[in-house]
Structure 1
Amino acid sequence: MATRNVTGGPAESGAPSADELDVRNVVLVGHAGSGKTTLVEALLFASGTIHRTGTIVDGTTVSDHDDTEIRQQRSVNLSVAPLVHDQVKINLLDTPGYADFVGELRAGLRAADCALFVVSTAEPLDGATRLLWDECTAVDMPRAVVLTKLDHPRSDYEGTLAAVREALGDKALPLYLPTAHAGEANVPTALIGMLSGRVFDYASGSRAERDPDADESARLAAARGELIEGVIEESEDETLMDRYLAGDEIDPNVLIDDLERAVARGSFHPVVPVCADTGLGTQELLEVMAGAFPSPAEHPMPDVTTVGGRQRTDLSCDPSGPMMAEVVKTTSDPYVGRLSLVRVFSGSLRPDATVHVSGHFLTERGHEEHDEDERIGALSCPLGKTQRTVASARAGDIVAVAKLSRAETGDTLSGVDDPLLMRPWTMPDPLLPVAVVPRAKADEDKLSQGLTRLAAEDPTLRIENNPETHQLVLWTMGEAHADVVIERLVARFGVHVDRVDLRVPLRETLSGHGAGRGKHVKQTGGHGQYAVCEIEAEPLPEGSGFEFVDKVVGGAVPRQFIPSVEKGVRAQMERGTSAAAYPMVDIRVTLVDGKAHSVDSSDMAFQTAGGLALREAAAAAGVSLLEPLDEVGIMVPDDYVGTVMGDLAGRRGRVLGTESVGLGRTVVRAEVPQTEIVRYAVDLRAMSHGTGTFTRHYARYEPMPRTIADKLLTA
């Protein structure tokens, strides 16, 4: 490691400069309202990057990265804020805390090498926070825990620390203890350094270092042992614990080295208390990030292949190696056009270079595979709405790239002579469908282009033109996500859409056996139209499709017109036979008789007669509606299993079984009609207090209950 400031040594700060600086990419993870964006601003202020908390050079706050965020007053985007501390450049990646924007969180986890897990001491630790911790665990992300809002009236530092350790593991241990002067109403004004034994006092408005008083020394003695033992347990020196238990004084630098290694491999999570409003703990947190967090070179490389599919294992975070980078975020700026936030994994990226852009993994979401060369524009360091031009970006750094007109989020950038392909991070499935229609003709003309641009930026948005219901459906992560997409259509592209009720693609089949006679006779000047056919129709088992049987004898229907009857029946099946006009499936139609005219019979006449015959047979046999069933897997904490199963029963669901998956969670598997789970993404989140997740896959069609079907047919 480049620094040794974890114990609270002097810090240096300055403006980001060039390639000599070491880099740390740190993603901030936490529930909405935990104080992530406020913490970013406080760290920028503490490092001298901005002049006062809440502003940048142009007067724009750090959170004001997107007009939607300004209007909604919440973070919905991944944003980057670079700073320099002690000759280390730290790229802070601020992520949204709302579940609807977990795609932005996963993009931030991909771009980062370590995480700050932000927890508010003013709110109880909830299940949604545990889910965010699991997101970090799933990608083996090293992390520290930051306890915020220490000056809030409801702040409970000790209770929150205990809850954090219970939920996140006993390897979450504080490096500093908050302490307050007498008469400060329990608002912390200083931190006791557990490894250094020094007190860092912020009571005067700036940090001053002093010796602990008697009370602080007693607190330090009581708590320091557990931290040291926790660090020693992670040490590769097996004699260290024996020496410590024997009473030897362990060199703090030895402890810091072991702490760094334990943090880098994700087996130890230091806890740092911070009060963003007063600055308490900001310098200490900067020291932890610069001195104890792993560098990009220590983080494993993602899975890389050539475009042809050959595995590449020879790449590393080497500025002189082959150029390889990944687009982790795409945005459209009204002044500079499309901006791509890029993490450089290998080699170096320079302005005006030609790169190969590869995208191969999002075809199931409507994105075409693409391989093409593009010349990139200027490189810049983004900070809110401010773009600071940089000369180059080396391996390990994060930079904004202009003029990548075809690159989408998740694409790989590499050298044109050696095209590479990185498998992108796992994208969450959008499970809330929202049907929309353009408000006016002018909106209809621009809608497709606007949605295509938004989908290129946001892989969690899937656009479906349903061929059965003829609806345009936006598959989103939740109501907040849907609101953001619709608002961006208006703000960026001037496209207005209205929400409409989603139509689930139902189908029809016959309830029983029926016969029908189709007669199409018309006499006009010249040739007329004449065709008569008689059919029998019956239902088939689900999934059988359509069968057409010819049992005509004696040439009642000439051979050349039998395919015409079948074509007419198929066309009527597509249109449906009931008032609801759903497609008809799984039937057998037998042509048994008919009549023809030597002059007036034609292909079109028998097509029309075939359709009329099927409609009459369906009226005689009766029509049943079929509805699609999805197989769902719902993972919730054990406390909510009963609630979920009761709710499924109310949705006409059939529970197939339950399975414990550990950590106090259970997966409930069931089959549920699609008509009953249109808004399940929202409803599950409400009934499980944000802790439930689910998957859904089409299973089959089944008959809809008669009472429900009759209501639909009547309507």
Structure 2
Amino acid sequence: MGDRSHTHPGAAGRATAAGPPGSVRNVALVGHSGSGKTTLVEALALTAGAVNRAGRVEDGATVSDHDESERRAGRSVQLSVVPVDWAGCRINLLDTPGYADFVGELRAGLRAADAVLFVVSAAQEAEAVADTTRALWEECAAVGMPGAVVLTHLDTARTPFDELTRVCGRVLGGGDPDALLPLYLPVEGPRGPDGRAPLTGLTGLLTRRIFDYSSGERRELPPDGDQRERLLGARARLIEGIIAESEDETLMDRYLGGGEIDTGTLVRDLRRAVARGSFHPVLTAAPAAPGARQGIGTVELLDLITAGFPAPSERVAPAVTGPDGGVRPAPVCDPAAPLVAEVVKTASDPYVGRISLVRVFSGTLRPDETVHVCGHGVGAPAGGPRPRHEADVRVGALTAPFGKQQRPLDSCGAGDLACVSKLTGARTGDTLSASGDPLLMEPWTLPDPLMPLAVRAHGQADEDKLSQGLSRLVAEDPALRLERNPDTHQVVLWCMGEAHTDVALERLRGRYGVQVDAEPHRVPLRETFAARSAGRGRHVKQSGGHGHYAVCEIEVEPLEPGAGLVFADEVAGGSVPRQFVASVEKGVRAQAARGVAAGYPLVDVRVTLLDGKAHSVDSSDAAFQAAGALALREAAADARVELLEPVADVAVLVPDDYVGAVMGDLSGRRGRVVGTEQATGGRTLVRAEVPEIEIGGYTVDLRSLTHGTGRFDRAYARHEPMPPQLADRLRTSRETAANQA
């Protein structure tokens, strides 16, 4: 296994760069909120000697330092990195948030990692385990991540070890409860007065040895009689699973023929299967007991990471393109190759400023050198040859992350991670490359944020800082989308859920000093005429000198949806002089933009100018504009004006058990279910048309309705008439608000 280093990479004050790419392991810890990921990182850091028993290094930094938004949320909301050294390898542990709102941080961690530890808590009921792990596992499977499953909280288990392993196999292994196999079995101590049996050690299935931690030190012991019987059955299943994944086709014949397969061969084939992602072993871990130097299972876990997880050089880097959009060869994980790196996370420090977490895929990143920053940009045309923003930027100081602590680095080679200060203009997802050879990496995808948060500045002083604060917030978090709605004139942050909105508000106030107020999100409604109508506008005033004289008669008729506003001139005999026809149109369009009934833009009508009167002296452009507006208002007063609301095409993907509840909920939102489709994994895709005013908070409601297993997408379909009773209620509320103002 090699020498095990127990020296933290930055314990002496200045971090040492990692060795060659083959000695680096980038591992993302993935699991539902509360599964124990951060506790596991602390236990691994303690075992590797990166922290002391208090969880601190020499200068007081801790693994679990949280910012204000995390303390308020009571959970991890951002990606953090903790490097440890073990068996001659640098292991970068990437602790990802488990809550669904922070999927952007999760995907950033997966982008930077080469393997995953999927953490599952036994403190949950079996059904809850299935619900909370399925979506997260799909995130890992989508990027083809190899790794292992780690079971935690076995001392407070609601789901026994064997059942939990089967549940994980069924959910994570495509329905086969035997798809995942343990490498170790838990050893429990005597049950206490509370009925709980503490975890005291592990039984190694391949080595047939007990690793006992009950004394605070890891000791190897032979299994006793009771343990041996259970060990043999589990060991046989594990061997069969390893042989099934072996590239040596003769092993199965030898095994079935009664031949003994030596442990070295099994371990070698196991490591190969884990590294290529075809085998996901199950391990068990627990934090160190008071006074102990090692957590239970942490040595075994670190050994598996160093020996079985792939190095960066064994993983295929994302595709890259050149300035002309042409595909370039994939980056080579070689410190001497041309630089290709990516900003996987952006954060702000009150003292240092912007800090970018960078994964180097090729070449070597050094401080004070000039690199080319390329970004896809929000709203960049799909398939477009060039990104929205790019520039040559001078690299600031390089540091090695340790939670929130930063330690100076001289360089960062291929396969490793580093923080870069003051990387001006760089956003999360941007590519860094040599200044003479600009490149752009294939972006990672993010779900569309579907929960709106409308904000306004609290005061005039905040008004000046709001735009800059929002821009910085969106640059840091690609899961946020900023919209300045031209119809409602609201500034809207589109978020992933309620927790995401809380964190966004906290960061605006805490990091950027912008006091903002949240306000109800307004859906852009429209108005239209339900039937043909006519109106006469008369603007006649006399005031000393030149007066104002303009009369026009119009007819308004409804058009098909999407037609907009069409103006037609059918004046005969010059009753409205030609130069004032455009003035009437301008007045009509201005009034239509302001609305004629409830203050929403008027659309899908044809306004025809039929007749009018003018005065040789007192008629003017302004007078006919006013007359046109008056005529449209009079036509609206004599007609039924409908409110049009936007309707969205909604696609909801849910487990089959929740289809009825989801369809009933959509119907209660005035939705029309237009069809269902069977999807993979025992799920159904429900398609419906739902008014957007009814689904502002659907992200939260769907999560509650389906226990976190449902997902949905939506797209604008059209505007259609709102039910009269709802329209009347909305008009009344707007009139009341206007009178109070």
Give me the TM-score of the superposition, normalised by structure 2: 0.93
Counterpart for residue 533 of structure 1:
552
The match for 2:402 among 376, 383, 407 is 383
What are the residue-to-residue correspondences of 1:563-582 with 2, within 5 Å? Answer: 563-578=582-597, 580-582=598-600
Distance 1:319 1:370, change over 3 A: same
1:497 equivalent to 2:528? Answer: no
Counterpart for residue 123 of structure 1:
124
DSSP-derived class of the 2:616 partner: coil
1:662 equivalent to 2:683? Answer: no
The superposition leaves residues 482-521 of structure 1 with CA deviations (integer Å, 9 ceiling, x where unpaired) of 0001011111122111111111100000011111100111
Counterpart for residue 233 of structure 2:
222
Instruction: Measure how far apart 1:612 and its partner are.
Output: 0.4
In the alignment, is the contact (CA less than 8 A) between 1:377 and 1:404 conserved in 2? yes
Distance 1:57 1:506 in 2: 60
Counterpart for residue 73 of structure 1:
74
The match for 2:145 among 141, 146, 153 is 141
Worse overlay, 692-701 or 182-191: 182-191
Instruction: Measure how far apart 1:48 and its partner are.
Output: 0.2
In the alignment, is the contact (CA less than 8 A) between 2:122 and 2:157 conserved in 1? no
Distance 1:474 1:386 in 2: 30
In the alignment, is the contact (CA less than 8 A) between 2:188 and 2:200 conserved in 1? yes
DSSP-derived class of the 1:267 partner: coil
Instruction: Measure how far apart 1:12 and its partner are.
Output: 4.0
Distance 2:33 2:360 in 1: 29
The superposition leaves residues 25-63 of structure 1 with CA deviations (integer Å, 9 ceiling, x where unpaired) of 000000000000000000000000001153343434322
In the alignment, is the contact (CA less than 8 A) between 1:63 and 1:69 conserved in 2? no
In the alignment, is the contact (CA less than 8 A) between 2:565 and 2:604 conserved in 1? yes
What stretches of structure 2 of length at least 5 have no aligned partner?
10-15, 290-294, 734-741
1:710 equivalent to 2:728? Answer: yes
Counterpart for residue 43 of structure 2:
42
DSSP-derived class of the 1:100 partner: helix
1:635 equivalent to 2:653? Answer: yes
DSSP-derived class of the 1:493 partner: coil
Worse overlay, 131-140 or 241-250: 241-250
Worse overlay, 615-624 or 312-321: 312-321
Give me the TM-score of the superposition, normalised by structure 1: 0.96
1:241 equivalent to 2:252? Answer: yes
Counterpart for residue 371 of structure 1:
390
The match for 1:202 among 199, 203, 213 is 213
In the alignment, is the contact (CA less than 8 A) between 1:304 and 1:421 conserved in 2? yes
What are the residue-to-residue correspondences of 1:390-405 with 2, within 5 Å? Answer: 390-405=409-424
Q: Which amino acid aligns with 1:270?
A: P
In the alignment, is the contact (CA less than 8 A) between 1:381 and 1:387 conserved in 2? yes
Distance 1:155 1:391 in 2: 48
Worse overlay, 394-403 or 119-128: 119-128
Distance 1:326 1:210 in 2: 47
Counterpart for residue 433 of structure 1:
452
DSSP-derived class of the 1:34 partner: coil
In the alignment, is the contact (CA less than 8 A) between 2:331 and 2:340 conserved in 1? no
Instruction: Measure how far apart 1:19 and its partner are.
Output: 4.0
What are the residue-to-residue correspondences of 1:525-674 with 2, within 5 Å? Answer: 525-578=544-597, 580-674=598-692
Distance 1:55 1:566 in 2: 73
What are the residue-to-residue correspondences of 1:230-629 with 2, within 5 Å? Answer: 230-278=241-289, 279-363=295-379, 369-578=388-597, 580-629=598-647
DSSP-derived class of the 1:174 partner: coil
The superposition leaves residues 76-96 of structure 1 with CA deviations (integer Å, 9 ceiling, x where unpaired) of 000100000001100000000
In the alignment, is the contact (CA less than 8 A) between 1:343 and 1:396 conserved in 2? yes
Q: Which amino acid aligns with 1:692?
A: G
Distance 2:52 2:337 in 1: 38
1:164 equivalent to 2:168? Answer: yes
Pairs aligned (count): 707
Distance 2:718 2:71 in 1: 44
Distance 1:530 1:97, change over 3 A: same
DSSP-derived class of the 1:400 partner: strand
Distance 1:629 1:72 in 2: 33
Counterpart for residue 175 of structure 1:
183
Instruction: Measure how far apart 1:408 and its partner are.
Output: 0.3
Counterpart for residue 18 of structure 1:
17
Q: Which amino acid aligns with 2:187?
A: T
Identical columns (%) = 61
What stretches of structure 1 of length at least 5 have no aligned partner?
5-9
In the alignment, is the contact (CA less than 8 A) between 1:357 and 1:407 conserved in 2? yes
Instruction: Measure how far apart 1:363 and its partner are.
Output: 2.4
Q: Which amino acid aligns with 2:398?
A: L
Instruction: Measure how far apart 1:378 and its partner are.
Output: 1.2
Instruction: Measure how far apart 1:182 and its partner are.
Output: 5.0
In the alignment, is the contact (CA less than 8 A) between 2:115 and 2:146 conserved in 1? yes
Instruction: Measure how far apart 1:236 and its partner are.
Output: 0.9
Q: Which amino acid aligns with 2:186?
A: P
Q: Which amino acid aligns with 1:15?
A: H
In the alignment, is the contact (CA less than 8 A) between 1:11 and 1:283 conserved in 2? no
Distance 2:418 2:342 in 1: 11
DSSP-derived class of the 2:117 partner: strand
Q: Which amino acid aligns with 1:126?
A: A
In the alignment, is the contact (CA less than 8 A) between 2:40 and 2:287 conserved in 1? yes
Distance 1:450 1:183 in 2: 55
Instruction: Measure how far apart 1:153 and its partner are.
Output: 5.9
Worse overlay, 205-214 or 476-485: 205-214
Distance 1:71 1:678, change over 3 A: closer
DSSP-derived class of the 2:511 partner: helix
Worse overlay, 250-259 or 408-417: 250-259
Instruction: Measure how far apart 1:221 and its partner are.
Output: 1.1
The superposition leaves residues 307-365 of structure 1 with CA deviations (integer Å, 9 ceiling, x where unpaired) of 22110125211111110000000000011111000000001111111100000243269
Distance 2:334 2:702 in 1: 45
Distance 2:77 2:28 in 1: 15
The superposition leaves residues 144-193 of structure 1 with CA deviations (integer Å, 9 ceiling, x where unpaired) of 00001122264622221121122222331111111134567532211111
Distance 1:181 1:558 in 2: 100
The superposition leaves residues 401-449 of structure 1 with CA deviations (integer Å, 9 ceiling, x where unpaired) of 1110210000000000111100221012110001112111111111111
DSSP-derived class of the 2:638 partner: helix
DSSP-derived class of the 2:546 partner: coil
Counterpart for residue 154 of structure 2:
150
In the alignment, is the contact (CA less than 8 A) between 1:148 and 1:276 conserved in 2? no
DSSP-derived class of the 2:355 partner: strand
DSSP-derived class of the 1:44 partner: helix
DSSP-derived class of the 1:127 partner: helix
Instruction: Measure how far apart 1:128 and its partner are.
Output: 2.4
Distance 1:670 1:53 in 2: 54
Distance 1:535 1:361 in 2: 47
Instruction: Measure how far apart 1:368 and its partner are.
Output: 8.2
Distance 1:56 1:525, change over 3 A: farther
Q: Which amino acid aligns with 1:14?
A: T
